[in-house]
Chain A
Amino acid sequence: MEQADLDLIRQARRGKPEALADIVRNYQQFVYRTAYGVLQNATDAEDATQEAFIKAFRSLKQLREERTFPTWLARIAVRVSLDMLASRQRRAQSPSDEVSAAVSGAEDAAVARIDVDRALARLNEEHRTVIVLRAFHGLEYDEIAQVLDIPVGTVRSRLHHARMQLRRFLGGERGDG
């Protein structure tokens, strides 16, 4: 984590509004990717991003160590996204058709992207979340354990099962399974 970000967090804790705007600018991609990875829906991911930032800044004074801000923010983003997912499931809404709406890139990568989209959507939320935290953001096992509030051993076994399932789904899509 950069010193500039640490300074921004300190300023935000003192209630400086410009610092909040800068933090949003620097971390919106991080939060949005987390939310999108868990929710697999662009509209919900936008809502989750907004809610995660509001919750984060509301409880910013409870953050003990400024250096843990990314993990702490990821934890809030994951919780907000999982709550949103649960509420969506309660409303019995199927995963959105706009699953690729937020994804951009060259056309030759489109097939691979759709494969990952589909494979991630087929994982259950626990497995999808650990994949997002590990593969999207490269968090260490102990950081994932902090984010999800589970033991490191559980992270390890959950990631193993998630990877093996993903392998099956991606292997099926690629035809190499």
Chain B
Amino acid sequence: MMDRCRDWESLLTAYVDGELSAVEEQRVRAHLAVCPACASLFADLLADEEQVAAYAQTIEPPLGLEARVVAALAEEHQVVQSRRLVYVYLCCSIIGLCALVGLVVSPIGSLVTIAFHFASAVLRGLVSIPTAVHQQWLVVAAAFSLLLLGISLFGTARLLRSSRRSEVLL
């Protein structure tokens, strides 16, 4: 009898969940009607199921959890976005480099070379401007100094001459 009840046990748990076929359900119902031990076990299993379900209803997430999860998701989103930006930058760099190499290697590469030489000459010219301007200013500064010296000497000479005249008069 006990062995037979053990055989029924596995069906009883599926019966609790309503996961038996119509035929199996009928067999279980018929057995429960004649077996007090299995009927008692079935009642206990139902009670356990209700107790666990009631217990589950009492589990509530803490108040700050939603905000914490949303903040973590925002942070994750930012990390993903910045990673994507790095990938985009790398891809653009690689594509740009490939395009440049392609241009130089291709027949219109000579035009690019001429343009490059022109651009480098312009750049060199631009670089030499500060030096040239600097030297010119030296010349201007020297000429200005000589002019000032000349004016000073001329003024001193006139002053001396006039003072000599006044001495003669006295």
A contacts, CB < 8 Å to B? 17, 20-21, 24-25, 28-29, 32-33, 36-37, 42, 46, 49-50, 53-54, 57-58, 102-105, 109, 112-113, 115-117, 120, 131-132, 134-138, 140-141, 156-157, 159-160, 163-164, 166-167, 170-171, 176
Q: In the complex, are the beta carbons of B17 and A176 less than 8 A apart?
A: no
Asked if B166 CB lies within 8 Å of chain A CBs, one says no
Does B128 sit within 8 A of A, measured CB to CB?
no
How far apart sit A60 and B142, CA to CA, in the bound complex (Å)?
Answer: 78
A-B contact pairs, 19 of them (CB 8 A): A17-B77, A21-B70, A24-B66, A24-B70, A32-B60, A46-B65, A50-B72, A102-B59, A103-B59, A112-B51, A112-B54, A140-B19, A141-B17, A160-B10, A160-B14, A167-B41, A167-B45, A167-B48, A170-B51
B45 CB to closest chain A CB (Å) equals 6
A171 to B40, alpha carbons, bound, how many Å? 12
In the complex, whether B55 has a CB less than 8 A from a CB of chain A is yes
Whether the pair B59, A28 counts as a contact (CB closer than 8 A) is no
The secondary structure that dominates the B interface is helix
7 closest A-B pairs by CB: A32-B61, A136-B56, A116-B55, A135-B52, A160-B13, A105-B58, A163-B13
Residues of A within 8 A of B55 (CB): 103, 112-113, 116-117
With an 8 A cutoff between CB atoms, is B25 at the interface? no
| Contact (A113, B48) CB under 8 Å given A24-B69, A53-B69 | no
A116 touches B51 (CB 8 A): yes
User: Given the known A-B contacts A112-B54, A170-B48, are A102 and B73 also in contact in the complex, defined by CB atoms under 8 Å?
Assistant: no
Q: Measuring CB to CB, which residues of chain B are less than 8 angstroms from any residue of chain A? A: 9-10, 13-14, 16-17, 19, 41, 44-45, 48-49, 51-56, 58-62, 65-66, 68-70, 72-74, 76-77
**Contact between chains at B53 and A159 (CB < 8 Å):** no
Bound Cα distance A166, B52 (Å)? 10
Partner of A157, one of B10, B17, B52, B61: B10
Asked if residues A171 and B44 are in contact (CB atoms below 8 Å), the reply is yes
* B59 CB contact (under 8 Å) in A33, A131, A141: A33
Q: Which residues of B contact A176 (CB under 8 A)?
A: 44
Nearest residue (CB) in B for A114 is B55
